[in-house]
């Protein structure tokens, strides 16, 4: 399994430095800010979508559930980072490093966790926008391998963790009733929900 | 340490990036949902203006500096995102209220929540809250 992971890593990371435009694209997408912000803004906009009060409330509960999901999956990532402090690829083998050297453990990949948790949240609001969000999250995750800072298994487990967190989010929102309903009611009183 | 904010320029750029992106998203959402009290661009232009604004913002953020450096921790990003989105919402509601002409839209004073922004400006909605 470990050798398959390294082989896959070498295949993807081996492409780095060969094509200037592919490197530029990866470097534009791989940074810690762009893709998470785009996905979070899609959720922010989703809060105000909908043509009826009922539809809007469904979307807003979806946004709340996604926030809870991202928090849950991030917490799980933090614990797994502590339990399995896997070194980054550039610490153990020769890599084409196009990115700065992150100081936290490699497993699971936090950007993959956040990207996929947010993408599933966007998908639950709007299927078309959600499909685009999944493409962005996938490119974001794969680019971490391409630039040499994560193994394929790191991003795969990260993606699963993010999806799980976002899938559990709606249940947690239901368990914590009447808090979400009160919060939405408060926002509604101020014309914000 | 959760909040270091070591990279001052990055903090400023990220805040502006999120602020403008949220402003664009609000214009798109306002145009799609008919929330005139949230729009600062007339409805027929809302989607195009929102997309153009967002695209310009992304191009500026990606091309204006090297973003692939150690900078903001997750919690710092979350905090800046909250601040940027709140600022964008306030800006949108304030400008829309200033641009709103009384009697320029359908009237339906019984609506509550964000639904009211289909029929009145945010300022009018707050004023009607005080009188009811």
Does the beta carbon of B114 lie under 8 angstroms from any beta carbon of chain A?
Answer: yes
Measured between beta carbons, the chain B residues lying within 8 angstroms of A44 are: 22, 25, 85
Does the pLDDT value for residue B124 go beyond 80? yes
The alpha carbon of residue A1 is apart from the nearest alpha carbon of chain B, in Å, by 30
| Cα–Cα nearest to B5, from B55, B77, B68 | B77
Chains A, B: CB contacts within 8 A come to 96
Quickly list DSSP for chain B: -------HHHHHHHHHHHHHHHHHHHHHHHHHHT-GGG-SS-HHHHHHHHHHHHHHHHHHHHHHS---SS---HHHHHHHHHHHHHHHHHHHHHHHHHHPPTTSS---TT--GGGGGGTS-HHHHHHHHHH-
Q: Cis link prior to A108 (omega < 30° from 0)?
A: yes
Quickly list DSSP for A109-173: -HHHHHHHHHHHHHHHH-HHHHHHHHHHHHHHHHHHHHTTSS-HHHHHHHHHHHHHHHHHHHHHH
Q: Cis link prior to A178 (omega < 30° from 0)?
A: yes
Q: What is the mean pLDDT of each run of 10 residues along chain A (193 residues)?
A: 90 94 93 96 96 93 97 96 94 92 93 98 96 97 96 97 97 97 96 94
The answer to whether the beta carbons of residues A26 and A147 sit under 8 Å apart is: yes
End-to-end Cα, chain B, rounded Å: 48
CB within 8 Å: A48 and B113 = no
Does the pLDDT value for residue B91 go beyond 90? yes
Does the pLDDT value for residue B5 go beyond 60? no
The alpha carbon of residue A183 is apart from the nearest alpha carbon of chain B, in Å, by 12
CB within 8 Å: A191 and B114 = yes
Measured between beta carbons, the chain A residues lying within 8 angstroms of B126 are: 191
Identify the closest residue of chain B to A28 by CA–CA distance.
B62
* Predicted TM-score of the model (pTM): 0.93
Does the pLDDT value for residue B2 go beyond 60? no
CB within 8 Å: A48 and B85 = no
CA atoms of B63 and A28, how far apart (whole Å): 8
State the best of B115, B118, B125, B126 to mutate against chain A, taking most chain A CBs within 10 Å: B115
Name the percent of chain A in helix, strand, coil, to the closest 5.
75, 0, 25
Look at the block and give the residue holding tokens 């690829």.
Answer: A89
Measured between beta carbons, the chain A residues lying within 8 angstroms of B29 are: 45-49
Per-residue confidence (pLDDT) for residue A137, from 0 to 100: 98
Identify the closest residue of chain A to B10 by CA–CA distance.
A33
pLDDT, averaged across chain B = 88
Per-residue confidence (pLDDT) for residue B6, from 0 to 100: 59
């Amino acid at each position: 399994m470990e050798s398959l992971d390294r082989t896959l890593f070498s295949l993807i990371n081996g492409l780095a430095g060969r094509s200037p435009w592919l490197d530029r694209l990866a470097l534009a997408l791989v940074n810690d800010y762009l893709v998470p912000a785009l996905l979070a803004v899609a959720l922010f906009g989703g809060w105000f979508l909908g043509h009826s009060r009922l539809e809007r409330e469904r979307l807003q509960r979806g946004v709340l559930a996604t926030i809870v999901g991202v928090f849950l999956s991030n917490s799980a990532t933090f614990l797994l980072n502590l339990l399995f402090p896997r070194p980054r690829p550039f610490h153990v083998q020769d890599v084409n490093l196009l990115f700065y050297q992150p100081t936290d453990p490699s497993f699971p990949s936090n950007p993959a966790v956040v990207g996929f948790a947010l993408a599933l949240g966007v998908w639950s609001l709007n299927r078309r926008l959600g499909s685009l969000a999944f493409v962005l999250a996938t490119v974001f995750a794969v680019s971490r391998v391409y630039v040499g800072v994560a193994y394929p298994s790191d991003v795969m487990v990260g993606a699963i963790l993010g999806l799980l967190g976002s899938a559990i989010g709606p249940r947690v929102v239901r368990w914590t009733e009447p808090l979400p309903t009160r919060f939405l009611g408060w926002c509604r009183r101020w014309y914000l929900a | 340490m959760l909040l270091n904010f070591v990279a001052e320029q990055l903090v400023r750029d990220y805040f502006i990036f999120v602020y403008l992106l949220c402003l664009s998203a609000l214009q798109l959402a306002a145009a799609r949902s008919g929330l005139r009290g949230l729009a600062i661009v007339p409805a027929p232009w809302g989607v195009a203006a929102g997309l153009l604004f967002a695209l310009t913002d992304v191009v500026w953020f990606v091309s204006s500096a090297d973003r692939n450096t150690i900078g903001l921790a997750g919690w710092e990003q979350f905090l800046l995102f909250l601040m940027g989105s709140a600022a964008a919402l306030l800006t949108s509601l304030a400008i829309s209220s200033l641009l709103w002409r009384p009697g320029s839209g359908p009237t339906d004073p019984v609506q509550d929540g964000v639904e009211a922004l289909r029929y009145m400006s945010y300022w009018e909605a707050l004023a009607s809250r005080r009188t009811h």
